[in-house]
Amino acid sequence: MTLKELSDHVVAEFKKHYGREPRWIVAAPGRVNVIGEHTDYNDGFVLPMAIERYAIMAADLALFQSTNTVSIYDTQFKETATIDVGEHVTKGSPKWSNYMRGVFAGFQRRGEKIPALDVAFMSTVPLGGGLSSSAALEVCTGTLIEAATGKRIDPIEKALIAQTAEHEFAGVPCGIMDQFISSLGREGHLLLLDCRTRKTELVPMNDPAVALLIVNTNVKHELGSGEYAKRRAECEEAAKILGVASLRDVTPEQLEKAKSKMSDLVYRRARHVIGEIERTVHAAEGIRQSNWPTVGQFMYASHASLRDDYDVSCKELDAVVEIAEDIGFKGGVYGCRMTGGGFGGCCVALVKADAIEAITKTMLEEYNVKTGLEAIIFSSRPAAGATIIKG
Ligand code: GLA
């Protein structure tokens, strides 16, 4: 569904459910990370893009403000969550409402009063697919508050409120990448983000000869399960041994010199992060020059490192990358890698645009042969970040 179709759909659902027109429509996209994985919480670089999949909300002030309640009607699962915004918002049920609760709490902390609202909600970002469905929901919620209060805030601040919501209300100690790209994405561009300085550079990605394919393994990932937090702790341990604030400060040579001071596991974690930060900077340069074969090689190298050193891949993600390698350059694939936190979710492949159909067909068939599962494949152009569509 295009954003326009999605918006029409959620408006129709709002009208059906609440019996009147919505006053605001807001949306925020999911993302795919082209390269720079598990580098954000190490002060490194990331290179994500917003995708044409969105969390979207149609809303109006509740008829009775005295209820102090935000009602969110989930149009897909036909479920309504109610959140008491009369006092400081806390965790609650259903589980997905916590992403919104966390953002309400963040705005309250800034001194904002959240009005009572009626909301209809829908998301086309696959859940648990490594495409940041949670960041999309958080940033969408922040954008809704901006629309409803009439006060726009700095998109970086909105991203940081969303990140805090993820930490405190979803229990995932994530970095800043997902919320930043959902908030700051620009149509036709990737976002090169320096996670230390938070300096951003928009890297144009609009060569019609290439496309990014997103291959969903349909293996759900659970970042809350503890592996993500473990990786963070291992990186912190490496930095401590190396005597630096973060792995951003370490060169490959310095790591080699200190190898004997750390366990093999901690060494491999650090090797991934240090190598990945370099690859990201080089890949961004490759994209600026439309040097697609080079970008593709960095993507394959990134995957190998995530698989072998960082241990966050899984056999289904590896299967997709193997199939991509088999199709190869001749068949129109430049590169492929897992994207997002890992342990399932999606791969991203850089491909020749005119080979999309053939590649998709081969991938679907081969993936099924290798794993017995059905993948879902779609392409997306770089989309815009969060927007107030109406209001
Ligand atoms: C998840 C986190 C991000 C980032 C990636 C790995 O998506 O939310 O902050 O750490 O994993 O690159």
Ligand 1 atom closest to Cα of residue 37: 12
Q: What is the pLDDT along the chain (391 residues), one digit of tens a residue?
A: 999 999 999 999 999 999 999 999 999 999 999 999 999 999 999 999 999 999 999 999 999 999 999 999 999 999 999 999 999 999 999 999 999 999 999 999 999 999 999 999 999 999 888 999 999 999 999 999 999 999 999 999 999 999 999 999 999 999 999 999 999 999 999 999 999 999 999 999 999 999 999 999 999 876 556 899 999 999 999 999 999 999 999 999 999 999 999 999 999 999 999 999 999 999 999 999 999 999 999 999 999 999 999 999 999 999 999 999 999 999 999 999 999 999 999 999 999 999 999 999 999 999 999 999 999 999 999 999 999 999 9
Are 176 and 130 in the same domain? yes
- Any bridge partners for residue 50, and if so which? 31
DSSP 355: G
Domain of 261? 210-380
Q: Which of 40, 180, 234, 236 to mutate to test the pocket of ligand 1 (most atoms within 8 A of CB)?
A: 40
Are 222 and 89 in the same domain? no
Are 21 and 150 in the same domain? yes
Are 94 and 141 in the same domain? yes
Are 195 and 225 in the same domain? no
Q: 97-109 and 155-170 are packed helices; what angle lies between their axes, rounded to 10 degrees?
A: 120
Question: In this structure, what are the phi and psi dihedrals at residue 368, rounded to the nearest 5 degrees?
Answer: -65, -40
Q: Which among 22, 109, 118 has a CA at the least distance from the CA of 70?
A: 118
Look at the chain and report how many structural domains it folds into: 2
Domain with residue 315: its CATH number is: 3.30.70.890
Q: Which among 347, 267, 338, 264 has a CA at the least distance from the CA of 302?
A: 338
Are 156 and 66 in the same domain? yes
Ligand 1 atom closest to Cα of residue 33: 12
Residue 205 near residue 185, CB atoms below 8 Å: no
Q: Which of 38, 127, 311, 312 to mutate to test the pocket of ligand 1 (most atoms within 8 A of CB)?
A: 38
Catalytic residues: 178
Are 201 and 312 in the same domain? no
Domain with residue 197: its CATH number is: 3.30.230.10
Are 125 and 27 in the same domain? yes
Are 221 and 200 in the same domain? no
Report d(CA 295, CA 298) in Å as an integer: 5
How far from 388 is each of 26, 129, 146, 241, 385, CA to CA, in Å?
4, 25, 9, 46, 10
Place of tokens 């690859």: 279
- Any bridge partners for residue 24, and if so which? 59
Ligand 1 atom closest to Cα of residue 41: 10
Structure tokens at 118: 């009626």
| Global confidence as pTM | 0.97
